Amino acid sequence: MHGYLPSELFRWKIHDTYAGGVPDSFYVGPANALFVEYKYIKKLPARATTKLHTTLSKQQVMWLEKMRSFNFPAWLIIGAEDRCVIVEDNYRSPILKADFDIHAVKFKDAANSIADFCIYS
């Protein structure tokens, strides 16, 4: 994802071994700052009605929800194959394979969404 982001966007790939649940990345531009937790699914299920299972922990959900409660943007980006969906709230809601297929965008488009949000909105 970071390879698609413009150079003027500040990015921090967070690796915090002391605080559980901290999102994977932090982005800052002139318009906004944004935390993003990334999850990748190795193989999508075949059935459209199957719920996607990620390794999102309870601590990560609590962290994302706490940021939202402070009116601080926090996204969950779930990737599979060469696409991903952006979840801006309702991190606990299950995502069906059919929903993924409908709403998924290419990684480059998701990176553009991050850049647009942080730089222009």
Kindly list the domain boundaries of the chain, sorted by start residue: 2-120
What local confidence, expressed as pLDDT, does residue 23 receive?
Answer: 96
What local confidence, expressed as pLDDT, does residue 11 receive?
Answer: 97
Q: What is the DSSP letter of 2?
A: G
More confident residue, 39 or 1: 39
Average confidence (pLDDT) over 47-68: 96
- CATH number assigned to the domain with residue range 2-120, chosen from the 4 options 3.40.309.10, 3.40.50.300, 3.40.1350.10, 3.40.190.10: 3.40.1350.10
The answer to whether the predicted template modeling score (pTM) of the entire model surpasses 0.85 is yes
- pLDDT class of 17 with cuts at 50, 70, 90: confident
Across the beta sheet with 25-28, what order do the strands follow? 10-13, 25-28, 33-41, 74-80, 83-87, 105-106
CA-CA distance, 118 to 121, in Å (whole number)? 7
- pLDDT class of 57 with cuts at 50, 70, 90: very high
